[in-house]
Amino acid sequence: MTTRSQIINGLKKLMPEMWIKKSEEWSMGKFAPRVYNAIVVTSEDEKSFINGIPAFDYYEELDHMALDDIDDDDDLTPEQKSERRKQLRKNKTYINGIHREIYSFLEKYGWTEFQEWETSGTLVLSNEELL
C-alpha cells in the first residue's frame, strides 16, 4: 500500500510549488478525526497548475467552456457537434474536479476512492473512508 508521504512526494513532483499538507497540519485538530490521516491540497493559488491548466477545478469550468464553444460553432453540422462532444467527454480535462494527470497518479496508488471537497478550493484526499 502506498503511504500518505509517498503520495505527497509524488504530488510535489507533479507540482513542486503547490500547497499541500497532511490533514493534521492543516486542521490543527478542529476537524479531527474526520480528516485524520488524509492529505489536504488547495487549488486557490497560481502555483497549482499543470502545463498551464489549473490542477483542480471544482466546477469543471474548463470542460464546460469547451462544450459551449462546440455548441456555439455555427460551422459545424449537428453530427460534427455530437462527435466533438463525445470526444470531449471521453478526454475530459478533469475527473471529479481533479486534473486528469493528477487523478491518474492518485488512481494508480488507490487514492481516488475517498476524496471530498471541503470548499471549492480545498480538496481532502484519503485512502480510507472519511468520517
pLDDT tens across 39-79, in order? 777 766 667 788 888 888 888 888 888 889 999 999 999 99
Instruction: Read off the C-alpha cell for 35.
Output: 480528516
Domain ranges within the chain, ordered by starting residue: 1-57+97-131, 58-92
Going 39 to 40 to 41 to 43, the CA torsion angle's sign is positive
pLDDT confidence of residue 61:
84
CB 22 within 8 A of CB 59: no
pTM, 2 dp: 0.77
Angle between helices 78-90 and 61-72 (to 10 degrees): 170
Angle between helices 4-14 and 100-108 (to 10 degrees): 150
pLDDT confidence of residue 34:
53
